[in-house]
């Protein structure tokens, strides 16, 4: 805010002119003299002071409206993010979906039922996400972070989850058939009634997983699994799992 003060009345022109030492500067002094008187009269004009107060109030109202419309802006942002995800549905590549998904999850927007099958989502960060019944079939999720997320009933068939962080995820009723889980971190994951048929679990960290009730481990490769709970590997092999070193090792 500009604080206006009444200016001192300028001296008469004769007095100003008498103080001019060089005649060639007289036109400049005349211009300055005119400006001095203009500023003097404007400083005494209350209308300008009112305008200054109105300007300050407009800033205040602008701040109030900005915060009052924050909810609408967030809704618009979410709508645009969902547009990106839905428009790219069924297509390969990222198509802006990594940023859109992360943005929605950061705002704690539920991602239940989202269809990102076949998408390239390598390195996506979706911790503590609500991904119940989400469709990740054949998606590239290498090096992603889904820690503590809810993936109940999620479709992860043929998904690439190499080196993924799946700590403490809820994968109950999840379909992981043909999923690539090589080197994945599954510590504390709940695999109750999950389907692991033909899944590649080589070098996966299975510390403290809840494995009782897994519906199928037929042809799942458990070679080199780390920190597996007592009895899990033996149970898996009895139920059709294999333990074979892969060609990439």
Alpha helices in the chain, H assignment, sequence order: 13-18, 26-43, 46-68, 70-87, 97-106, 232-238
Measured in degrees and rounded to the nearest 5, phi and psi for residue 40 equal -60, -45
CATH code, residues 79-249: 2.160.20.80
- The Cα–Cα gap between 94 and 204 comes to 26
- The Cα–Cα gap between 173 and 195 comes to 7
Measured in degrees and rounded to the nearest 5, phi and psi for residue 165 equal -95, 110
Residues 157, 178 contacting (CB under 8 angstroms): yes
**Domain residue ranges of the chain, discontinuous segments joined by +:** 13-68, 79-249
Residues 168, 188 contacting (CB under 8 angstroms): yes
The one-digit pLDDT tens for each residue of the chain (249 residues) are 455 556 677 777 666 666 667 767 667 667 776 667 676 666 666 555 666 766 676 776 566 655 655 556 788 889 899 999 998 887 777 779 999 999 999 999 999 999 999 999 999 999 999 999 999 999 999 999 999 999 999 999 999 999 999 999 999 999 999 999 999 999 999 999 999 999 999 999 999 999 999 999 999 999 999 999 999 999 999 999 999 997 665
Measured in degrees and rounded to the nearest 5, phi and psi for residue 145 equal -125, 105
pLDDT of residue 156: 98
Residues 214, 193 contacting (CB under 8 angstroms): yes
pLDDT of residue 24: 73
- The Cα–Cα gap between 140 and 159 comes to 6
pLDDT of residue 47: 58
Vertex 126, ends 129 and 228: CA angle to 5°? 85
Residues 200, 223 contacting (CB under 8 angstroms): no
pLDDT of residue 6: 60
pLDDT of residue 41: 62
pLDDT of residue 91: 75
b/e code 122-136 from CB counts within 10 Å (16+ = b): bebbbbebbbbbbbb
Contacts of 150 (CB under 8 A, 6+ apart): 129, 130, 131, 132, 169, 170
């Amino acid at each position: 805010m500009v604080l206006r003060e009444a200016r001192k009345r300028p001296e008469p022109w004769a007095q100003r002119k008498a103080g001019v030492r060089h005649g060639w500067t007289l036109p400049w002094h005349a211009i300055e003299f005119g400006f001095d008187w203009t500023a003097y009269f404007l400083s005494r004009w209350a209308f300008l002071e009112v305008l200054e107060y109105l300007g300050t109030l407009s800033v205040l109202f602008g701040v109030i409206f900005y915060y009052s419309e924050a909810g609408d802006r967030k809704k618009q942002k979410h709508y645009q993010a969902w547009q990106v995800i839905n428009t790219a549905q069924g297509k390969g590549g990222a198509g802006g979906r990594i940023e859109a998904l992360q943005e929605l999850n950061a705002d704690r927007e539920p991602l239940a039922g989202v269809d990102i099958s076949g998408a390239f989502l390598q390195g996506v960060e979706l911790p503590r996400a609500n991904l119940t019944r989400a469709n990740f079939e054949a998606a590239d999720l290498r090096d992603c972070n889904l820690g503590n997320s809810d993936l109940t009933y999620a479709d992860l068939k043929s998904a690439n989850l190499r080196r993924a962080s799946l700590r403490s995820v809820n994968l109950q009723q999840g379909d992981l058939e043909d999923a690539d889980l090589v080197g994945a971190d599954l510590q504390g994951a709940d695999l109750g009634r999950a389907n692991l048929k033909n899944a590649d679990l080589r070098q996966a960290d299975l510390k403290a997983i809840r494995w009782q009730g897994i519906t199928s481990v037929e042809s799942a490769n458990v070679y080199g699994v780390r920190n597996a709970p007592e009895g899990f590997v033996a149970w898996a092999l009895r139920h059709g799992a294999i333990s074979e070193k892969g060609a990439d090792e």
